[in-house]
Amino acid sequence: MVDSKELKNKLAALPDSPGVYIFKDAQGGIIYVGKAKSLKKRVQSYFSRFLASRTQVMVSKIADIEYKLCQTESLALILEASLIHKYKPKYNVSLRDDKSFPIVKITNEDFPAVCITRKKVADGSHYFGPYTSAGLLREALRIIRKYFPFRSGERMSQEVNMYYRIGLAPDPKETSKKEYAKTIENICLILEGKTEALIKKLSQEMTSKSKEQEFEEAAKIRDQIEALSVMSESTGHYSRKEELEDLKNMLHLGKIPERIEAFDISDISGKEATGSMVSFCKGAADKNNYRRFRIKTVDKIDDYKMLSEVVYRRYLRLKEENRPLPNLILIDGGRSHLLVVDREITRLRISIPLASIAKDKENIYIKNKMNPIRLNSDTPALNLIRRIRNEAHRFAWAYHHILRRKKIIGK
């Protein structure tokens, strides 16, 4: 039975949602990773009275539980396998050693195929897994294929078959080897469980395509980012409560920041400058309170002045309407961006805690502290900040795309 009060609380708070659970021992080592259609039902079942002796031994060593929510059980399967491959938990022996489980094979060709097999062959192909369910694996690959079309073994020819027509395979007449290699690289990142790294990579590509005025390609990448964000939107290895508590402690806030507002300034080749704001309530996106801003007072590209305008307009309105202020403002940028926002907040004679996240190294800047806070890549606070920043980018670019489309249609 469960002895620790903290562990009991974690068990009681588990969500009835798909995801991956992680058991840790007293030293913090990962001893088991599993996936579930319902985290609550699956994890609580380990603490019942009727267990196999080997499972009882494992349960007696559990000192902590972490989890990551996933959109579907099939996507949880992908994450489960990547974590088992990375950490090699002691009690995941059967999945590591049994040769009968399905695996994903990416063939060694100019236009690689992505397929399911049960046998590794030394032919230069890349392999991922193994996975515990062939059915769930096929479902996960169908989801991935919708946004990252790949060959599944059919011959690459000039004939346009069913898969090309419905957008689930690369068009042999239009797709270059280099372009398809990028798609395969992205699929590999998903199979390795590196969704956050892929979102960051795609965001940079989308910005580049936009600046080059390749709007159709930028729109495709935007859709990929949005799909990936939904897949991992719910949480990282942590609950939202843990993320908010960690953020409060990291930023030395007086209370948990239940409402966070984040700003993003966007322009394409110096045109259609816009500002966007996303709102998060208790760690979840609050889309009813998102806001969009057309830049009115700045007639040239100046991110700082545009950020000043948008922030001032937002909080002047809240002040005039006597509406509640957020508990935290998050800015995408470095210390200079933070100081710009602080100046506008001071000018309005209101008090709101501020933090900014630098684009390159993801350092966190706060007021009255010259040096940034440097976080490792696996903290609840950074997980939350990344999720908010990615959503701010997505929302800002979506607005920009709407304005560009209206302008083109209106010509």
For the entire predicted model, the pTM comes to 0.60
Report the C-alpha gap between 356 and 331 in whole angstroms.
4
Contacts of 155 (CB under 8 A, 6+ apart): none
SS3 124: coil
Choose one of 46, 70, 92: the last residue of a domain.
92
Q: Please indicate, yes or no, if residue 32 is contained in any of the structural domains.
A: yes
pLDDT for 410 equals: 45
CB 23 within 8 A of CB 62: yes
3-state secondary structure of 296: coil
**Distance (Å, whole) CA 354 – CA 356:** 7
Q: Are residues 258 and 371 in the same domain?
A: yes
- The two tokens of residue 64 are 């902590």
Assess if residue 316 is contained within a domain. yes
The residue range of the domain holding 138 is 98-176
Strand partners, 233: none
296-301 long-range Cβ contacts below 8 angstroms, 24+ apart: 298/273, 300/270, 301/267, 301/270, 301/273
Q: Are 378 and 244 part of one and the same domain?
A: yes
44, 61, 92 — which closes off a domain?
92
3-state helix, strand, coil in the chain (%, to 5): 45, 20, 35
Q: Which amino acid is at 141?
A: L
Judge if 55 and 136 occupy the same domain.
Answer: no
pLDDT of residue 240: 79
Tell me, yes or no, whether 25 and 82 share the same domain: yes
Count of Cβ atoms closer than 10 Å to residue 350 Cβ? 13
Q: What is the pLDDT of residue 390?
A: 79
Work out how many domains the chain is built from and give that number.
3
Q: Which of 176, 210, 228 is the last residue of a domain?
A: 176
Instruction: Count CA atoms closer than 13 A to 399's CA, side-chain side.
Output: 22
Is residue 171 a part of any domain in this protein?
A: yes
Query: Are 391 and 271 found together in one domain?
Result: yes
Q: Does residue 126 form part of some domain?
A: yes
Same domain, 14 and 48: yes
Phi, psi (deg, nearest 5) at residue 36: -155, 150
Is 150 found in the same domain as 31? no
> Is residue 158 located within the same domain as residue 257?
no
Residues 265 and 361 in one domain: yes
pLDDT of 407: 53
Considering the domain boundaries, does residue 210 fall inside one? no
Whether 235 is covered by a domain: the verdict is no
The answer on 325 and 389 residing in a single domain is: yes
Could you tell me if residue 234 is inside a domain?
no
Considering the domain architecture, whether residues 102 and 88 belong to the same structural domain is answered as no
Residue 283 counted as domain residue: yes
User: What is the C-alpha to C-alpha distance for residues 407 and 401, in angstroms, rounded to an integer?
Assistant: 10
Q: What is the CATH number of the domain that holds 23?
A: 3.40.1440.10
CA distance 216 to 147: 15
The residue ranges of the chain whose pLDDT is under 50 are 1, 158-160, 234-237, 269-270, 408-411
Beta pairing, strands 259-268 & 328-332: parallel
Tens digit of pLDDT for each residue in 39-92?
999 999 998 767 777 788 888 899 989 888 888 899 899 989 889 888 899 888
Shared domain check, 108 and 72: no
| 304: helix, strand or coil | helix
Alpha-carbon span 206 to 220, nearest angstrom: 9
Q: Give the C-alpha separation, 334 to 338, whole Å.
A: 7
Written as one letter, the residue type at 356 is: S
d(CA 146, CA 92): 31
Predicted local distance difference test score (pLDDT) of residue 356 = 92
CATH of the domain at 347: 3.30.420.340
